[in-house]
A = this chain, B = another copy of it.
């Protein structure tokens, strides 16, 4: 996968997240059962249907703060790519690792892992999560 494709897919993920667009989020995730999603503090969700149910809850939460993305870095891994970035949501900052794999219609997400970052570089330090989905 080309680095720019991975960055574009990562932007599409956060656009769907920011806009609460569950249909776009569903299209972005790879159409395979073995995707993985780790929301902050949660156990790993390892079934596509359960992952999408989790996004339905999160995107449908009216108190979900806006997400702003910082410091995006990409590691290309053949047909796949890892994108690492920070998610700022209100006073809280998460470190996120997003994995995409090439498909016939472009890159699709196979894994998202986000966790609280207590000392994000160049961003305000935080002590408590507000991610209450």
Contact = CB atoms under 8 A, between A and B. Distances in A.
Contact of A95 (B43, B86, B110): B43
Given A36-B75, A73-B44, A113 B101 contact: no
A111 interface: yes
A104 interface: no
A76 B95 CA distance: 23
Give the dominant DSSP class at A's interface: strand
A84 B42 contact: no
Interface in A53-110: 71, 73, 75, 77-80, 82, 84, 86, 95, 97, 99, 101-102, 110
24 contacts: A34-B75, A36-B84, A41-B118, A42-B117, A43-B86, A43-B117, A43-B119, A43-B121, A44-B71, A44-B86, A44-B97, A77-B79, A77-B80, A77-B110, A78-B78, A79-B79, A79-B80, A82-B110, A84-B111, A95-B113, A97-B99, A99-B99, A115-B116, A116-B116
